[in-house]
Amino acid sequence: MPFLELTVACRQSEQPRYERALEDVGALAVTLLDADADSGNERAILEPGVGQTPLWGAIALSALFPHDADALALLAALEAFDPALDWSRAGFRSVADQDWERAWMDRYEPLQFGARTWIVPWNRALPEAADSPAAAVVRLDPGLAFGSGTHPTTALCLRWLDDLAAAGRLQGADVLDYGCGSGILALAALKLGAAHAVAVDNDPQALLATHDNAQRNGVGAQLTAFLPDDAPATTYPVVVANILASALDALAATLAARVVPGGRLALSGILAGQQDALLARYGAWFDALAVAQDGDWVRIDGIRNDRPVHG
């Protein structure tokens, strides 16, 4: 039976709060590891006794959820349960007694977004509709990094990019993909006509997956990837950020400062009901803000005005 595994690091003093949050959102099991142990020498406590806590200073918590759990919805629920905890470095992977990742890829079908954009796994033939010069095809092996096009937050962004391309706003443009995951949005932008893409993520694994996917799609020379602190402080005509609402709120000034006046911004990873606060926050710097919804998730997009960013 496959499971979705969430792993997050925390301080020993915060461990009970993290564990309570994970149990509250339905974790089937929680494992604690010494995050400072040398590789291969980790010491695990599967279920500490009542009143017992590890003595380690840094802890890695590993929680198992049903395989069909929605990773972004879990993160949103965890943030809502205890907003003071930091879930930004949480990682996900599928675990099972079989190679679940490969089995999932065997069932993953080609997907179309908008008029031209196609996401096609490596092990699938191109659909007839995608086998044309006009199609923008991204061949993807998501690996352990989030971003396959199947989640509504990603789909909303892909359709937005496809619409931008149809309006002629991607041709020859530089694009910033903030929270890149597998690099799917940066790759789609390049396939739709962008000249260069900058991908940013706080997970080094995501940057490796993005680089690998860019090389396999023949656009490696057009894409650069950075950790947030290393990303260039420049501006772009197109910026897309597919992260969680709390991060979008915290990064509002940073993201606004990355969009040129007249440039386009799309924000996703927002649960329905969370958009009003973000609309108010970004309204200081963006005009014509619009909301699109797919299931329980929404996207906000707008046009950068010329008001300066002060934070």
- Cα(214)–Cα(211) distance, rounded to whole angstroms? 5
- Cα(187)–Cα(212) distance, rounded to whole angstroms? 11
207-226 core/surface letters (b: 16 or more CB in 10 A; e: else): bbbbbbbbeebebeebbbbe
Are 149 and 111 spatial neighbours (Cβ–Cβ below 8 Å)?
A: yes
Longest dimension (CA), the chain: 64
Q: Which residues are annotated as a binding site?
A: 154, 179, 201, 242
At residue 122, what are phi and psi to the nearest 5 degrees?
-60, -30
How many angstroms separate the Cα of 123 from the Cα of each of 102, 126, 206, 216, 286? 10, 10, 21, 13, 41
- Cα(118)–Cα(114) distance, rounded to whole angstroms? 9
Burial label, 1 (beta-carbon count in 10 A; 0-12, 13-18, 19+): exposed
Calculated CA dihedral for residues 93, 141, 112, 288, nearest 10 degrees:
70
Q: Which residues are annotated as a binding site for S-adenosyl-L-methionine?
A: 154, 179, 201, 242
Closest C-alpha to 193, from 237, 226, 253? 237
